[in-house]
Amino acid sequence: MTFDTRRGTRGSRQPNGRFLRWVNGLMTRRMRRSGGGRMMGFNALVLTTVGRRSGAERTNPVGWFPGPDGSWLIVASANGAVDNPAWYYNLAAHPDNVRIEVDGDTIAVTAEQLHGAQREQAWQQITAAAPRFGQYQRKTDRELPIIRLTRQVTIDQ
């Protein structure tokens, strides 16, 4: 499956700059200290990606929802902004070079964007659990990407 959600033509302003970095850093530190976390009323994890242009590690706290077979579902909503969050493009560039911190564990994962019936089923689950994502979708004309994070399988030699 491909990461193929393009920028929209309308949407809310995406937070950026120093304030967003400060808030993200604060939330990340809090989640790491407590071994897990909640953010805006739902479960949160720390997502670490590799910058698509810089190659530097980037860390963001994001909300997650349970997926099939122990996977994690995240939404690249950016509060209904016209563009996807930067971490979406980092996942697209390096879907196998991702890790998450959740419940005190650091886990290597592979990212996959959901499409079609899989996306629709996940969207119903997410909007039932967190109706604000429906509000985010109404703000923009881009389809909010849903990403499934699946634990990477390691083979001991």
Between 32 and 130, name the one with better pLDDT.
130
pLDDT tens profile 48-71: 999 999 999 999 999 999 999 999
**Domain ranges, residue 110:** 17-151
* Residue 156 forms part of a structural domain: no
Helix (H, G, I), strand (E, B) or coil at 80: helix
Q: Is residue 70 part of a domain?
A: yes
What single string gives the DSSP state of each residue in 88-125? HHHHHH-TTSEEEEETTEEEEEEEEE--HHHHHHHHHH
How do residues 15-58 score in pLDDT, each as one tens digit? 677 887 888 888 888 888 876 777 777 899 999 999 999 999 99
Q: What is the CATH number of the domain that holds 136?
A: 2.30.110.10
pLDDT at 74: 98
> For the chain, how many structural domains are there in total?
1
Domain-located, residue 12: no
The pLDDT value given to residue 135? 94
Asked if the model's pLDDT at residue 119 lies above 60, the reply is yes
pLDDT band at 121 (very low <50, low <70, confident <90, very high): very high
pLDDT at 14 over 80: no
Residue 44 lies in a domain: yes
Q: What is the mean pLDDT of the chain?
A: 91
Higher pLDDT, 90 or 11: 90
Q: Is the pLDDT of residue 81 over 80?
A: yes
* pLDDT at residue 94 greater than cutoff 70: yes
CB 154 within 8 A of CB 79: no
What is the per-residue pLDDT for 139? 95
* Phi, psi (degrees; rounded to nearest 5) at 18: -60, -45
Report the C-alpha gap between 17 and 117 in whole angstroms.
Answer: 36
Tell me whether residue 29 is in a domain: yes
**What pTM value is reported for the model?**
0.91
